[in-house]
Amino acid sequence: QLHLTMSEKNELTKSLEMVQKELEEKESEMKREITEYKDRLLQAEKEHQDALTEVNRKNEVEIEACQDKVNALQHFISSQKLEIEHLKSNKEELNNSLKEANQTLGELLKIKVR
């Protein structure tokens, strides 16, 4: 009876050791997989951050180009407004000169008729 019990105990001990070894192997495998997933996650995050950085850089360049265009257009509009004001002033001067010339012509015609 004792021999049988000792034999069962040895078998159970071996079985327990095998189960523990399997568990340790599985734990080791899971730790390896976790490390692998973490590495992949870090790589994906780095690639994502690099892509964001590149997109932001391109957007900044584009925004700067658009701002330059806006500034150039604003400058162009300002110069066109000045030109319009100058032309209006010239028109007014020409109209005044024309009125004076017509008055002078009218006076000369009156003098000529007399």
Q: State the pTM of this model.
A: 0.57
Tracing tokens 């700067």 back to the chain, one arrives at: 64
Residues 41, 49: Cα–Cα separation, whole Å: 12
Residues 48, 54: Cα–Cα separation, whole Å: 10
Q: State in Å, rounded, how far the first CA of the chain is from the last one.
A: 164
pLDDT reported for residue 59? 98
> Token pair for residue 71?
């500034």
pLDDT at 113 over 80: yes
SS3 at position 1: coil
| DSSP output for 74-114 | HHHHHHHHHHHHHHHHHHHHHHHHHHHHHHHHHHHHHHHH-
Name the DSSP letter for residue 71. Answer: H
Tracing tokens 């030109």 back to the chain, one arrives at: 83
pLDDT reported for residue 64? 98
pLDDT at 2 over 80: no
Render pLDDT for 7-64 as a digit per residue (tens, 0 to 9).
999 999 999 999 999 999 999 999 999 999 999 999 999 999 999 999 999 999 999 9
pLDDT reported for residue 55? 98
pLDDT reported for residue 68? 98
Average pLDDT over residues 94-107: 96
pLDDT reported for residue 96? 97
